[in-house]
C-alpha cells in the first residue's frame, strides 16, 4: 500500500501539472486501466488514453485549480483534496477522491460536485 506521504505528493503533482498544462504528466499518475468519474454519476472514462484526452480538453478550456484545504491522506489506499476549478466565466467547488494501487498509481478518481457547487 502506498504511504500517506506518497498519495499526498501525487495529488500535489496532479494540481501542479494541471496548472502547468501538462496533461501527459497527469495521465502518467494513473494505471493503464484506471477509471475517472467526473463528476460521480456521469459515465466513467476508462483507460489512460481517455483520461489524457479528458485532461487535455479541460486544460485547453482554460481551467485552473486551487486547493481549498490541505490534501488529506488516509489509513488505507485513498487520498482526497478539496479544490476550486476556475474556468473562464465559471467556478466549480469539488472534492476529488483518488484510490491507489500497491505501486502508488491512481486506479480510480471520483470527483464529487453537483449543481449547487457551481458559481457563474
Task: Give, as one character, the DSSP assignment of residue 44.
Answer: P
Provide the pLDDT for residue 32.
Answer: 98
Q: How do the residues of the chain divide into helix, strand and coil, expressed in percent and rounded to 5?
A: 30, 40, 30
pLDDT of residue 59: 97
pTM of the model: 0.96
Identify the pLDDT of residue 1. 87
77 is catalytic: no
Say which of 16, 30, 33, 38 is annotated catalytic. 38
Q: Which helix (H) or strand (E) holds 111?
A: strand 106-112
- Kindly name the residue from 14, 30, 55, 96 that is annotated as catalytic: 14
- pLDDT digit string (tens) for 64-96? 999 999 999 999 999 999 999 999 999 999 999
Is 55 among the residues known to form the active site?
A: no
Residues of the chain with pLDDT under 70: none
CB atoms within 10 A of CB 64: 14
pLDDT at 67: 98
Amino acid at each position: 500500500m502506498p504511504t500517506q506521504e506518497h498519495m499526498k505528493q501525487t495529488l500535489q503533482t496532479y494540481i501542479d501539472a494541471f496548472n502547468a498544462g501538462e496533461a501527459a504528466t497527469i495521465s502518467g499518475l494513473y494505471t493503464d486501466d484506471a477509471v475517472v468519474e467526473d463528476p460521480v454519476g456521469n459515465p466513467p472514462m476508462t483507460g489512460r488514453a481517455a483520461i489524457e484526452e479528458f485532461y487535455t480538453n479541460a486544460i485547453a478550456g482554460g481551467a485552473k485549480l486551487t486547493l481549498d484545504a490541505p490534501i488529506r491522506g488516509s489509513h488505507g489506499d485513498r487520498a482526497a483534496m478539496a479544490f476550486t476549478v476556475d474556468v473562464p466565466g465559471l467556478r466549480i467547488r469539488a472534492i476529488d477522491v483518488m484510490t491507489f494501487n500497491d505501486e502508488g498509481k491512481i486506479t480510480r478518481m471520483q470527483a464529487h460536485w453537483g449543481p449547487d457547487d457551481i458559481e457563474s
